[in-house]
């Protein structure tokens, strides 16, 4: 006998958990199926950046709606998720970069987006005193910040369950088929039936899409991060670069998380990643040049979380192009953590009402259909 739900959500990352919560808040009964445990992969082990800055135009509305939820995250999930809003600063390493940033900020303003703000060298030094003297300025998004990724994902999971969602972990989806008006979701632990399905399966989402005859060119990636031992507090905002890959954040406890998108080798069938130390050495050199204060720092751990990267670097959010009642929410391309709260709300709205007030144009899966 298949277990019945209003919606089956596949994948227990921040997106699946957020969608399950928002569906439950709308009075629907979601069942979330996760092959490992909630937050096991990228959602639990990413850099924790909560960033509107430097986003693709297509995802800015989602990012802004997410930011509104981040700012009342404790009210939403009953946990502050370690969120602090010290801003994100995009540092220009030279005048040419700064000129490019100026154009971008002006373009955003014409489109009505004001979260990115150009800053000169003195404001940069005020926000990030430790940064190298030669950087001429940058861009700040002052409402941005960072949160604890695993704690956040778990908080969404916990609140979703409190609001009536069922979360089933350690169970893998093995097949999808129609069963009258419903979808039948076959798993390693029996069948489930629901009229609607949300595919939030991250690095494994292409396998779900393939079950629907909707192949999608998803790359499995695992961006690397490393963390230092504790240092005296010297930097508040998250710092990112454009020309070279770097994201840089000092946590409350003094440790510094260094990331930026250098990739390891992922093995998605065994949940393993093999780190690429040559690339981490490049990160170490970048940090070395940018932050003299870091010269004595000790690296205590490096890791990578497995996730999906789309060819155009932006996510897939919206209806299936082949299958009525199926929705996609994956492919966040190494920047999906901040989008989790808001995209879950938008997805729940789309599933429940058939449409959404937040624009998601350009994010549909049909953009990958064979031409």
Partner 1 sequence: MTAAADLAPSYELVVIGGGPAGLAAAALAARAGVSTVLFDENPGVGGQIYRAITSTPVRSRAILGEDYWDGAALADEAKASGALIVNGATVWSLDRQRLVGVSLGGKARLIEAGRVIIATGSQERPFPIPGWTLPGVMTAGAAQTALKAQGLVVGGRTVLAGSGPLLWLLAAQTLRAGGRIDAILDTTPRRNWLQAMLHLPDFALSPYFAKGLALLREVRAKVPVHRAATIEAVGTDRVREVVFSGAGGTRRLPVDLLLLHQGVVPNVNLANAAGVAHVWNDRQLCFVPVLDAEFGSSVPGIAVAGDGAGIAGGTAAAERGRIAAIAAVRALKPQAAVPDTQAIRQRLQREEMGRAFLDCLNRPADSFRLPEGDTIACRCEEVTAKQVRETAQMGCEGPNQMKAFLRCGMGPCQGRLCGLTVTELIAAERKTTPDEVGYYRLRPPVKPITLAELASLPISEAERKAVER
Q: 136-165: b or e for each residue (b if 16 or more CB lie within 10 Å)?
A: bbbbbbbbbbbbbbbbbbbbbbbbbbebeb
User: Which residues, listed in sequence order, are joined to residue 227 by a DSSP beta bridge?
Assistant: 257, 301
Tell me the two tokens of residue 176: 């999808």
Q: Which of 3, 37, 85, 359 binds partner 1 (CB under 8 A)?
A: 37
Verify binding: residue 132, partner 1, rule CB under 8 A.
Answer: no
Choose between 271 and 353: whose C-beta lies nearer to partner 1. 271
User: Which residues, listed in sequence order, are joined to residue 223 by a DSSP beta bridge?
Assistant: 263
Only segment of 20-28, 99-107, 298-306, 360-368 that touches partner 1 (CB under 8 A): 298-306
Choose between 44 and 237: whose C-beta lies nearer to partner 1. 44
Verify binding: residue 109, partner 1, rule CB under 8 A.
Answer: no
Interface size with partner 1, residues (CB under 8 A): 36
Verify binding: residue 298, partner 1, rule CB under 8 A.
Answer: yes
Give the CA dihedral 248, 253, 255, 256, nearest 10 degrees: 0
Verify binding: residue 240, partner 1, rule CB under 8 A.
Answer: no
Q: Which of 238, 242, 310, 244 has its CA nearest to residue 105?
A: 242
Q: What are the φ and ψ backbone dihedral angles of 319, each rounded to 5 degrees?
A: -75, 155
Q: How far is the CB of 275 from partner 1 (least distance, A)?
A: 6
Q: How far is the CB of 255 from partner 1 (least distance, A)?
A: 9
Q: How far is the CB of 252 from partner 1 (least distance, A)?
A: 11
Choose between 63 and 247: whose C-beta lies nearer to partner 1. 247
Verify binding: residue 301, partner 1, rule CB under 8 A.
Answer: yes
Q: Which of 79, 97, 144, 148 binds partner 1 (CB under 8 A)?
A: 148
217-236 residues near partner 1, rule: CB under 8 A: 228-229
Choose between 202 and 305: whose C-beta lies nearer to partner 1. 305
What is the gyration radius of the CA atoms in the chain, in angstroms? 21
Report the 10 Å Cβ neighbour count for 181.
Answer: 9
Is there a contact between 165 and 8 (Cβ–Cβ < 8 Å)? Answer: no
Rounded Cα–Cα distance for residues 82 and 251 (Å): 10
- What SS3 state is found at 366? helix
Residues that bind partner 1 (CB under 8 A): 37, 39, 44, 148, 150-151, 154, 228-229, 244-245, 253, 262, 272, 274-275, 277-282, 284-285, 287-288, 294-303
């Amino acid at each position: 006998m298949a277990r019945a739900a209003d919606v089956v959500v596949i994948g227990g990352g921040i997106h699946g958990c957020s969608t399950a919560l928002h569906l439950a808040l709308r009075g629907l009964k979601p069942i979330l199926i996760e092959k490992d445990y909630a937050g096991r992969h990228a959602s639990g082990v990413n850099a924790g950046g909560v960033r509107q800055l430097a986003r693709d135009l297509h995802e800015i509305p989602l990012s802004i709606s997410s930011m509104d939820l981040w700012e009342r995250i404790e009210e939403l999930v009953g946990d502050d998720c370690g969120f602090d809003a010290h801003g994100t600063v995009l540092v220009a390493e030279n005048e040419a970069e700064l000129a490019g940033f100026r154009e971008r900020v002006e373009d955003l303003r014409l489109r009505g987006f004001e979260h990115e703000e150009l800053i000169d060298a003195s404001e940069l030094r005020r926000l990030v005193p430790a940064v190298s003297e030669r950087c001429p300025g940058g861009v700040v998004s002052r409402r941005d910040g960072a949160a604890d990724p695993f704690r956040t994902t778990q908080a969404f999971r916990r609140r979703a369950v409190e609001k009536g969602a069922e979360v089933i972990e350690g169970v893998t989806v093995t097949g999808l088929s129609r069963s009258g008006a419903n979808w039948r979701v076959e798993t390693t632990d029996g069948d489930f039936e629901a009229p609607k399905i949300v595919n939030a399966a991250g690095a494994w989402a292409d396998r779900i899409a393939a079950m629907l005859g909707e192949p999608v060119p998803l790359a499995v990636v695992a961006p690397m991060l490393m963390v230092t031992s504790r240092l005296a507090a010297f930097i508040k905002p998250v710092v990112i670069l454009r020309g070279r890959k770097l994201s840089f954040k000092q946590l409350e406890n003094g440790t510094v998380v260094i990331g930026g998108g250098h990739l390891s080798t992922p093995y998605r069938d065994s949940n393993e990643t093999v780190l690429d130390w040559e690339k981490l050495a490049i990160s170490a050199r970048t940090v070395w040049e940018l932050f003299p204060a870091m010269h004595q720092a000790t690296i205590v751990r490096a890791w990578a979380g497995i996730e999906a990267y789309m060819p155009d670097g932006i996510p897939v959010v919206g209806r299936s192009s082949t299958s009525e009642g199926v929705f996609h929410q994956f492919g966040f391309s190494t920047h999906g953590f901040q989008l989790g709260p808001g995209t879950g709300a938008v997805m729940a709205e789309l599933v429940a009402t058939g449409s959404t007030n937040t624009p998601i144009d350009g994010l549909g899966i049909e953009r990958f259909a064979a031409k």
